[in-house]
Structure 1
């Protein structure tokens, strides 16, 4: 049986995964031809976006997905490897922000995991492998579709100031590596 690193390398090659600005590797696999207008925007062609997009996303080599947010809902799907932790900061909690962590994985082999998790639009989130020495291959589906112009990396110091109870986690996952 190949080791985890060899499997990760094979998947990177097989799916032509490229480095992602938030950390890890990705490849866009789908961009809907159907265009939608985001609610509240003028009905001009340049304000439309794909109805949905999908990517493969992999974390390995102790990489993590740095804190960021997007303007659309994002559904994470587990495919292969070991469990992945998706951390979200719920800023609607007036007591410094509630931390919600989803464990993505294969529930048949890891009963404390789920196959899918949703990150609501506008929520700060980051991800890491539950076992830093392992890898996780997941998919991310975004609707309305992902646009890099709507991607925002967190200013770590500002995020820690707003969520002091979670400063250690925010600092640790603050920058892509």
Structure 2
């Protein structure tokens, strides 16, 4: 194992992360247990939840998915992470989260519910990128839809190359 791989394995262990369905690793770090639940069209949800989310050189992509809830992402450590967003009208937006704010990277990113989102760690010395996400109303897997390559390609044919690269088969 090279030093970078060892450091990533230690980080996963230290933060108690596990594989995420969209790619990368995560752990829920907070849910608003001390507040009343919110009633949504999909059922009761916590007011807010938060996770750590890690992309690595071996799991570099968070595949296209759509969440019903708003999510605020907070950059922490490692290499920059590029986010690709497809809005319902087909508008494409690319944002890079990272520490170099003078070069246009951002430390915080809001993604409204109903937006298709993919992420990928950019190649760098660290071999990983670590963020946190705060989700409101709180995250529930029932509120997340993984991107289907064919369906997304039919809906947004102008973004086929990105969809092909950033979805699972």
Q: Do they fold alike, i.e. is TM over 0.5?
A: yes
- In the alignment, the residues of structure 2 paired with residue 64 and residue 148 of structure 1 have an alpha-carbon distance, to the nearest angstrom, of 19
Could you tell me which of 84, 89, 96 is aligned with 2:86?
89
- Length-normalised TM-score, structure 2: 0.89
Q: Which runs of 5+ in 1 are unaligned?
A: none
Shift of the 111–6 alpha-carbon distance from structure 1 to 2, 3 Å rule, reads farther
Residue 75 of structure 2 aligns with which residue?
A: 78
Residue 58 of structure 1 aligns with which residue?
A: 54
**Which structure 1 residue ranges, 4+ long, deviate > 4 Å from structure 2?**
none
- In the alignment, the residues of structure 2 paired with residue 4 and residue 168 of structure 1 have an alpha-carbon distance, to the nearest angstrom, of 30
Contact kept, 8 Å, 1:76 with 1:139, in 2: the verdict is yes
- In the alignment, the residues of structure 2 paired with residue 112 and residue 7 of structure 1 have an alpha-carbon distance, to the nearest angstrom, of 28
- In the alignment, the residues of structure 1 paired with residue 88 and residue 143 of structure 2 have an alpha-carbon distance, to the nearest angstrom, of 19
- Length-normalised TM-score, structure 1: 0.85
Residue 124 of structure 1 aligns with which residue?
A: 116
User: Where does 1:1-150 land on structure 2 (aligned, <5 Å)?
Assistant: 3-33=3-33, 34=35, 35-38=37-40, 41=41, 47-60=43-56, 61-92=58-89, 97-107=90-100, 111-131=103-123, 134-150=127-143
> What secondary structure, in the 3-state scheme, does the structure 2 residue paired with 1:29 have?
strand
For these two proteins, the number of residue pairs brought into alignment is 164
Contact kept, 8 Å, 2:50 with 2:133, in 1: the verdict is yes
> What secondary structure, in the 3-state scheme, does the structure 2 residue paired with 1:10 have?
helix
- In the alignment, the residues of structure 2 paired with residue 47 and residue 154 of structure 1 have an alpha-carbon distance, to the nearest angstrom, of 22
